[in-house]
Structure 1
């Protein structure tokens, strides 16, 4: 799952990145209004952490920009401005949650998890598809009650495919989801094929075959059977 942390306090931003990266989130950072605007316009994220007071602009304008583009990404405002008016305005524009500074990182993690689960999956902590069961809290994966071991990248790829089931996803979209803005610096997206191949092999060995379809010249699709 890919996050964007829009926060001008570098020490706090780096602390958030360190903690959430240890929880297997792919984190990108923006420290100014213009950096945030550029990333929001160019890339897709599963959740955005948004400070209101940014060099060069107001975080609420970033939020308004996100929602006017009909972008469904989850947004959590993280701000030292803890007034009722700020909370109401942020929620009215389209924020999903509001967390006042200072906050505990485990609480932030659970709020991120709750928003991503609600937007991408369901209210349950267990995601199921084609005999596969994924515990979204423990990140444990099993097929027909038999656990299978996936790498972090394979787990992220599996979740991404299932959350977009029956949709064709381009190699570029998968590359961006797995690598973030680093995908723009790569000469090609051959690594996507490698991860797809490895994931398909592990799923097939565990009894889940033909779930990932190769759509020639376009990308891949998770087929609900």
Structure 2
């Protein structure tokens, strides 16, 4: 699960990142409005922790952008203890929950998990994310095509899930690389490994007679071009 933490307090941001990383999350931190906006619009996140008071902007403005762009990320507002109006505006603006400073990291984790379960992305039920003949179990990290187990690596599972959750959106190679491997890919000159992972995933899906929904968008990246199956 990929999480973006928008927090301008370096110590708190580092503590959250360290804790969530130990819990198995891929966690990125932005300490300004500008950095967070760039990340939100260029990468996909399952969950976003949104601090409201920032040195260069307001987190509620980012929440509006998230909703305007139809970004499916779950949003948890981080607010000051006395900021009742901010909490109300955040929830009315589409945030999924809020947490008040100071907080225990275990409570933060519980709230994130609850948001993720409630969001049920891409028609999921519980830990199952389904689209047409594709089924992904986020607990066991198993993927199925037409009820047949797909023999894929963890990275290929994460890639397929990223495509399904972001279907019909163009995903750049950089966005895919960052989602799967984290921020350290930002300075890489060559992203050919993304092409190789996409190629392997396509081949394995085809072996089970699955539909190839992945379109190459030349010069940009890839798009999981999908329409729901007729019922």
On whether the aligned pair clears a TM of 0.5, the verdict is yes
CA contact (8 A) 1:165 1:221 kept: yes
Give the direction of change, closer, same or farther, for the CA distance of 1:67–1:212 in structure 2 (3 Å limit). same
Question: Structure 1 length as normaliser, TM-score?
Answer: 0.74
Partner Cα separation in structure 1 for residue 31 and residue 167 of structure 2: 34
| Residue matched to 2:29 | 29
Partner Cα separation in structure 2 for residue 4 and residue 141 of structure 1: 25
| Residue matched to 1:110 | 113
Give the direction of change, closer, same or farther, for the CA distance of 1:95–1:82 in structure 2 (3 Å limit). farther
Partner Cα separation in structure 1 for residue 215 and residue 155 of structure 2: 19
| Residue matched to 1:45 | 45
* Aligned residue runs from structure 1 range 73-222, under 5 A: 73-81=73-81, 84-100=84-100, 101-103=102-104, 104=106, 105-114=108-117, 117-118=119-120, 120-122=121-123, 124-125=125-126, 126-166=128-168, 169-205=171-207, 207-215=208-216, 217=218, 219-222=221-224
Partner Cα separation in structure 2 for residue 87 and residue 75 of structure 1: 12
Question: Structure 2 length as normaliser, TM-score?
Answer: 0.73
Which segments of 5 or more consecutive residues in structure 2 lack a partner in the other structure?
Answer: none
CA contact (8 A) 2:143 2:150 kept: yes
Quote the RMSD (CA, aligned, Å): 3.3
Structure 1 position 87, deviation (Å): 1.7
Partner Cα separation in structure 1 for residue 184 and residue 151 of structure 2: 26
**Per the alignment, in what secondary structure is the counterpart of residue 75 of structure 2?**
strand
**Per the alignment, in what secondary structure is the counterpart of residue 95 of structure 1?**
coil
**Per the alignment, in what secondary structure is the counterpart of residue 16 of structure 1?**
helix
Partner Cα separation in structure 1 for residue 46 and residue 196 of structure 2: 23
**Per the alignment, in what secondary structure is the counterpart of residue 154 of structure 1?**
helix
| Residue matched to 2:2 | 2
Structure 1 position 194, deviation (Å): 1.3
Give the direction of change, closer, same or farther, for the CA distance of 1:201–1:34 in structure 2 (3 Å limit). closer
Partner residue of 1:64 out of 46, 61, 73: 61
Partner Cα separation in structure 2 for residue 216 and residue 87 of structure 1: 40
* Residue-by-residue CA offset, 1:17-76 (whole Å, 9 max, x unaligned): 23433555322112345544554465553431022344x256xx1221441472334321
Partner Cα separation in structure 1 for residue 153 and residue 98 of structure 2: 32
Give the direction of change, closer, same or farther, for the CA distance of 1:76–1:194 in structure 2 (3 Å limit). same
Partner Cα separation in structure 2 for residue 9 and residue 167 of structure 1: 33
